[in-house]
Structure 1
Amino acid sequence: MKKTILKSMTAMAITFSAVAAPINVLSMEAVQARAESVKPVYKNRAEIPEQYKWKLEHIYPTKAAWEADIKKATDLANQFTLHQGKLSTSAKSLKAALDDYSTLMRIHDKAYVYASMALDVNTSNAELQDLADRAEKMSVAVKEKTSWLGPEIVAIAPLRITAFLRNEGLAPYRYFVKDILRTKNHTLSKDLEELLAQSTPLADNPEGIYGMLSKDIKFPKIKDENGQEVQLTRSNFISYMESKNREVRKQAYEAYYQTLAQYQDTFAQTLGGKVKANNLYAKARKYDTAMEASLTPNNVPTKVYDELIDTVDKSLPLMHRYMELKKKMLGVSELHMYDIYTPIVQANDSYIPYDQAKEMVLTGLKPLGEQYGKLLEEAFNGGWVDVYPTDDKRSGAYQWGAYDTHPYVLLNYEGTKDDVATIAHELGHAMQSYYTNKKQPYISSNYPIFTAEVASTMNEHLLWESEYKNAKTKEEKMYLLNQRLENFRTTLFRQTQFAEFEKVIHEKEQKGESLNAEALKALYKEINQKYYGPAMISDEEISMEWARIPHFYYNFYVYQYATSFAASTALAKQILDQGQPAFERVRDNFLAAGNSSDPISVLKAAGVDMSTAQPIEETMAVFKQTLDELEKLLNEK
């Protein structure tokens, strides 16, 4: 995950759990090796060795230095209002305002990131809570003082702004200004814009109600693998769906979705309300559809969305074939939706020490060249990465930072294979941020969401290729092949399935059709059956899955997971096939591009045209190749 500071006008001592072996059985070297292979447990942050913690002092050496920037950002925000009403007077005036805006926002970002990241690794610290609160208040004030900039640029007469942009002094700002002007036809009068802005909390109510309802629902108890009664919850649902015991999976599946069905009408009202709001805002801004209203501000043509759904739909026979294989490998007479999460090949789940994980990542990313490898070493050894979890560290993983800092990566490393992939993933974000900040001016350094996941998943593809190449046994290879197939299923197929459902429900509401619970259930089950094919028993419970997906409240967001996966698959293959020239093309035209051009053009220059079906077709070829290889290994004696 990449956390961003938005720059647009519209958003701105170790305790081991090891038992020592007798010294006469193992050499001292062997004892040391064993100790290093056991998962370390840290009670608090003070126990973690310094080499495993990021160095926020690289941003501010003292609290006083941070305090100075908080004050400076506030002062500069107040001074920035002096530019208001003067942008149209001359190119010089516009440049002066944009120069000051860049200066202000660079300080804002640096101060905000520091306070937020300091709290993320020590959430119970009252002093750090105070810092984060003050940073948030500073940020709100800055946004209020700069909110007029976009509308005033839009208000400049077309011929006048065109003449201004010919001025060489405004060269660094041309794309930024043109990007604001691009949606001018969908910008309303000042009064209407204010009215829409004031109505935003109402439009967000369905998501808030959905979140509260989802949190408050109590699920029944089920019996686990040992026959013990356990409480089913939202957070442990998937872990029970991954159980080797089929009865446990079935219990969890039925209990979860049958419980959701008890609230189906409320869920339908919340989702329907969000869809209505999206369609209303699209109509108000003179867009033909809500999808167009969502994609256009990000400079992504609606053709990309449609091309994704059409191409994946044509490739569904491959997905159906994978389900047939899964059914065979699980040895079941009927394949149900509660069977798809359990692994068909068991993994070696022994702990992977962090230093070993680093070497795995460095080896896997060698195709990206010597310079990239040296940057990875700098990240690992130079205070970029915060590695181990503690009770008061926030969960998950992300990459963050500001224009005037090196990238930072937060991990909660537990030593699993997935954790190794997460390191590669987050460092992909970090390298994109590094290259972008080196090449681009501040104003065009914030790469968009559409491209944000490409660099990270490209690294995951390369890591997988390295692990598969170095796999020693048939079992290892089969595990890795199944892992890749599951990545395809959950990212390319499943996210496209969600995207298709999202598109259809908006179209139905726009036509005046009801989005009641029964209509949503029937539609979702129909699409699910299409994606999983005849080998899958599409149980009635799956018709309620839409009520478990919060992404349906994010307004045409999920398709980007699938497009990023396709683009990164294509780029990883080019780098493996063509070597350093391909990586240099990717580095210079994509990793270092930031927001200097629209995302489709950036990816096209890197070597993948997402306005066509080709990248998705090439990705499907990789899926087929992986499926062929797993079937081949299964048939070997």
Structure 2
Amino acid sequence: MEGSKKLLKRSEIPDTAKWDVNKIFASDDKWEEAFKVAKEEAKKLSEYQGKLKEANMLLEFLKLDEKISRDVEKIMMYAFLKSDEDTKNTTYQGIKGRVNSYVAELQGSTAFFVPEILSFEDDFVEKVIKENKELELYRFYLERIMSKKPHILTKEKEELLASASELFDAPHSIYSIFANADLKFPKIKNEENEEMQLTEAMYSQFIKSKDRNVRENAFRSLFKTYGEFRNTIATSLVSSIKTWNFNAKIRSYSNAIESALAPNNIPVSVYDNTIEAINKNLPLLHRYVKLKKKMLKLDEIHMYDLYVPVIDTPKEHIEFKEAVTIANEALKPLGDEYLSIFNSGIENSWIDIYPNEGKRSGAYSWGCYDTMPYVLLNYTYELNDVSTFVHEMGHSIHSYYSRKSQPYIYSDYVIFCAEVASTTNEILLINHLIHKEKDKTKKLYLINSQLEQIRATVFRQVMFAEFEKITHETLEKGDSLTADDLCSIWHNLNVKYFGPDMVVDEEIDMEWARIPHFYSDFYVYQYATGYAAASSFAKMILEEKEGALEKYKGFLKSGGSNYPIEILKEAGVDMTTAKPIEDTMDTFRQLLDMIEEI
């Protein structure tokens, strides 16, 4: 489809550029029938409460729960995809709302399952498998549940904590409402000297402005506003950290990091080693800052200069058909089988390609065990759209392999692994584009894009992770944390990470106040580990290391059949060592060398 400046109606988009949701249900009537049947079937689940100690009853419950879950996932997929096609369509908004309400109800009807399993003796899993060999399939699933047992409290205490869950969530809820609804920023002038309302969304544009006055004014105005509420926001964040520390303590974990990492059996050493490895390589980030200062021709580089592009984005119009060709060339190292799946996905209507009136913004990959993967794009013919395309297809093919290779119970992969396949695709794409590009300006742009990706995804997220570690440990020791303390910690981290060439403006001291991820305990480090794992996979595949491709495909096929650290290790990426981070740092070093040579 040739590019058009006009936003088309859904009906004006050719069917060949749309995903085929009717492969899930042929019509709304068929969807209604399936929804009705699933709701009726689900009523049987509660009949198993109090009976799960008996092997045959446990197996019956697990099979019924799987059947209903698979049916409801299809029902949910249809409703959500139809709704996202055109968010103005009230019919599909309505059925999406109905499904949301029902899923919450369904979760409530099976809430007895985990507590009941945890009430059994330690050798329960071995006993029921001995009684019924079919339960061997569920061994890892049941053992993961039983691993929580040392951290489960009495029934009365668990009920008390559950009843207080809204209180524990209060710091995040208060911060979210304050930051998104109540916090108001001043107006500033844009490049045309027009007065514009500063918002978080607009800030991301202003901070990249070629006009240094615009980005400096945006920077100072944004953080000055946060600073006016420094004590309120500090109290909110500290309360959140204290909540995580409290929960870790009462559940008999050594600390909050262990508590956050335990569900996926990730050693705390992985977290600590990631921070240590990045700290060891900070001279590379200092070198990048110095290089950026030189390329921007600045006497001093300030924090508000960090996001301005050193090279303007090439103005290219890339038809989707050309994007497919580029993707095939870039992903060629992944082999014929991978490319065959990739191209059959395009041919078989996995992808909803172009924007239309009312369509949900952004991009995602989604699907369930009994559907094909679905990819939502809003393709606007730019180079970034090509990157988004290969990224989302990375997710989809990861899901495709996992669902084809694993039983339902192990078909989903956890967050720790979720971004690895998509990022591997992105790395292969940018590597391909850099090495084939002959135009000096375009090549510089591509190299700098990858440098920025590593700076933002690895260095920046590890700095966030280090901040979390310091703040939690400070409170664990019984020391206090004021707004001044948080600002001081953040300032010192910025000085350490960005090095001697960076002028660390005092306004940046408040940046911790605008990071919502700090209310999701010890989450951000996974961005860095995911990129590092992808970097290792890409490096081994491009260097054609013996067995590298087959091991990578083994990773794609593993789903959630083991703990993420073990799945990656089996595929040749050991996240308990510094090597994945070192592989990423080697790439960063090579890119710096390349940009200095041009």
What TM bracket, shorter-length normalisation?
over 0.9
Q: Does 1:123 align with 2:93?
A: no
Q: Supply the distance in 2 between the matched residues of 1:412 and 1:176 (Cα, whole angstroms).
A: 37
Contact 1:39/1:351 (CA < 8 Å) preserved in 2? no
Q: Write out aligned runs for 1:352-371 (5 A).
A: 352-371=318-337
Kindly indicate whether the alpha-carbon contact (under 8 Å) linking 2:316 and 2:383 is maintained by their aligned counterparts in 1: no
CA drift of 1:390 comes to 2.9
Q: Secondary structure of 2:500's partner?
A: coil
1:469 corresponds in structure 2 to 435
Q: Mapping of 1:533-572 within 5 angstroms?
A: 533-572=499-538
Shift of 1:40: 4.6
Q: Which runs of 5 or more structure 2 residues have no equivalent in the other structure?
A: none
2:575 is aligned with 1:610: yes
**Residue from 450, 455, 463 that aligns with 1:484:** 450
Matches within 5 A, 1:265-414: 265-414=231-380
1:8 matched residue in structure 2: none
Supply the distance in 2 between the matched residues of 1:51 and 1:219 (Cα, whole angstroms).
44
Alpha-carbon contact 2:125-2:139 (below 8 Å) kept: no
Q: Quick one: distance in 1 between partners of 2:129 and 2:499?
A: 54
Q: SS where residue 578 of structure 1 aligns?
A: coil
Q: 509, 530, 543: which is aligned to 1:577?
A: 543
Partner of 1:141: 105
Give how far 1:250 is off.
0.7
Question: For residue 188 of structure 1, what is the amino acid of its counterpart?
Answer: L
Q: How far 1:579 moved relative to its partner?
A: 6.6
For residues 391 and 528 of structure 1, do their structure 2 counterparts lie closer, same or farther at Cα, with a shift above 3 Å needed? farther
Q: Which residue of 1 aligns with 2:38?
A: 73
CA displacement, residues 395-414 of structure 1 (integer Å, 9 cap, x when unaligned): 21111111100000111222
Deviation digits for residues 417-469 of structure 1 (CA, Å, limit 9, x no counterpart) = 22111111110100010000001111111110000000000000001111112
Q: Which amino acid aligns with 1:401?
A: G
Q: Distance in 2 between matches of 1:448 and 1:621?
A: 27
Secondary structure of 1:348's aligned partner: coil
Among 103, 106, 112, the alignment partner of 2:67 is 103
Please say which of residues 114-123 and 555-564 is displaced more in the overlay: 114-123
What does the per-residue CA deviation read over 1:555-579, in whole Å, with 9 as the maximum and x for residues that have no partner?
Answer: 1110000000000000011111117
| Residues in 2 aligned to 1:378 and 1:214: alpha-carbon distance in whole angstroms | 44
Is contact 1:365–1:459 with CA below 8 Å preserved after alignment? Answer: yes
Secondary structure of 2:365 counterpart: strand
For 2:163, the aligned partner's letter is Q
Identical aligned residues as a percent? 43
Match runs of 1:59-70 below 5 Å: 59-70=24-35
The CA distance in 2 between the partners of 1:232 and 1:492, in whole Å, is 28
Among 593, 617, 623, the residue aligned to 2:558: 593
> Residue deviations 1:32-56, cap 9 Å, x none?
xxxx3x4453332122111111111
Q: Secondary structure at the match of 1:41?
A: coil
Q: In 2, are the aligned partners of 1:39 and 1:415 still within 8 Å (CA)?
A: no
Larger deviation: 282-291 or 423-432? 282-291
Structure 1: how far apart are the matches of 2:5 and 2:345? 22
Partners in 1 of 2:455 and 2:355 — Cα distance? 29
Name the aligned partner's letter for residue 234 of structure 1: E
Structure-2 residue corresponding to 1:253: 219
Give the aligned partner of residue 43 of structure 1: 8
* In the alignment, structure 1 residue 421 sits paired with structure 2 residue 360: no
Given that 1:77 and 1:146 are in contact with CA atoms closer than 8 Å, whether structure 2 keeps it comes out as no
Alignment of 1:27-42 (within 5 A): 36=2, 38-42=3-7
Match of 2:173 among 203, 208, 216: 208
Show CA shifts across 1:149-188 (max 9, x none).
Answer: 1111122222342222344311221111111111111111
Please state whether the residue corresponding to 2:123 is helix, strand or coil: helix
Q: Judging changes above 3 Å, is the alpha-carbon distance between structure 1 residues 467 and 136 closer, same or farther for their aligned structure 2 residues?
A: same
Q: Name the residue aligned to 1:31.
A: none
Structure 1: gaps of 5 or more residues: 1-13, 15-35
Q: In structure 2, how many angstroms separate the alpha carbons of the residues matched to 1:564 and 1:214?
A: 28
Residues 349 and 580 of structure 1: CA distance in aligned 2, closer, same or farther (over 3 Å): farther
Match of 1:9 in 2: none
Q: Name the amino acid aligned to 2:154.
A: S
- The range that moved more, 322-331 or 502-511, is 502-511
Tell me the CA shift for residue 303 of structure 1: 1.1
For residue 602 of structure 1, report the CA deviation from its aligned partner. Answer: 0.3
Aligned-residue offset at 1:619: 1.4
- The 3 A distance-change label for structure 1 pair 323 and 39 is farther
Deviation of the 1:580 alpha carbon: 8.5
**Residues 86 and 474 of structure 1: is their aligned pair in 2 closer, same or farther, counting only changes over 3 Å?**
same
Instruction: Report which stretch shifted further, 534-543 or 502-511.
Output: 502-511
Residue 258 of structure 1 aligns with an amino acid whose one-letter code is K
Moved more, 619-628 or 159-168: 159-168
- Partners of 2:35 and 2:466 lie apart in 1 by 45
**For the residues of structure 1 that align with 2:445 and 2:4, how far apart are their CA atoms?**
23
For normalisation by structure 1, the TM-score amounts to 0.91
Instruction: Indicate which of 237, 249, 265 corresponds to 2:203.
Output: 237
Other-structure match for 2:397: 431
Q: Deviations over 1:59-80 (max 9, x none)?
A: 1111122122222222222101
Q: Tell me which residue corresponds to 2:422.
A: 456
The Cα shift of 1:369 comes to 1.1
2:223 partner amino acid: Y
Q: Which amino acid aligns with 2:162?
A: A
Deviates more, 1:319-328 or 1:296-305: 296-305
- Structure 1 residue 371: deviation in Å? 1.4
| Distance in 1, Cα, partners of 2:160 & 2:352 | 44
Conservation of the 8 A alpha-carbon contact between 1:450 and 1:599? yes
Greater CA drift, 427-436 or 416-425: 416-425
Structure 2 Cα separation of the partners of residues 359 and 116 of structure 1: 30
Question: C-alpha offsets along residues 128-164 of structure 1, whole Å, 9 cap, x if unaligned?
Answer: 1110111112211211111111111122222342222
Question: Whole-Å Cα distance in 1 between the matches of residues 578 and 207 of structure 2?
Answer: 34
- 1:44 & 1:267 partners in 2: Cα distance? 43
Q: Distance in 2 between matches of 1:522 and 1:466?
A: 42
Matched to 1:47, the amino acid is E
Asked if residue 523 in structure 1 is aligned to residue 489 in structure 2, the reply is yes
What whole-Å deviation, never above 9, does each CA across 1:99-134 have from its counterpart, x for those lacking one? 111111111211112211211221121111110111
CA distance in 2, matches of 1:527, 1:561: 19
SS of the aligned residue for 2:437 comes to coil
Asked if the contact 1:295/1:302 (under 8 Å) is kept, the reply is: yes
The residue aligned with 2:119 is: 155
- In the alignment, which residue of structure 1 is the partner of 2:183? 217
Give the Å deviation of 1:481: 1.0
For residue 391 of structure 1, report the CA deviation from its aligned partner.
4.0
Q: Please give the alpha-carbon distance, in whole angstroms, between the structure 2 residues aligned to 1:228 and 1:326.
A: 29
1:350 shift after superposition: 2.7
Does residue 631 of structure 1 match 2:596?
Answer: yes
Whether contact under 8 Å (1:367, 1:579) holds in the other structure is no
In the alignment, the residues of structure 2 paired with residue 107 and residue 299 of structure 1 have an alpha-carbon distance, to the nearest angstrom, of 30
Instruction: Tell me the equivalent position of 1:29.
Output: none
CA distance in 2, matches of 1:604, 1:41: 49
- Indicate conservation of the 8 Å contact 1:221/1:229, yes or no: yes
For the 8 Å contact 2:208–2:215, the answer to whether it is kept is: yes
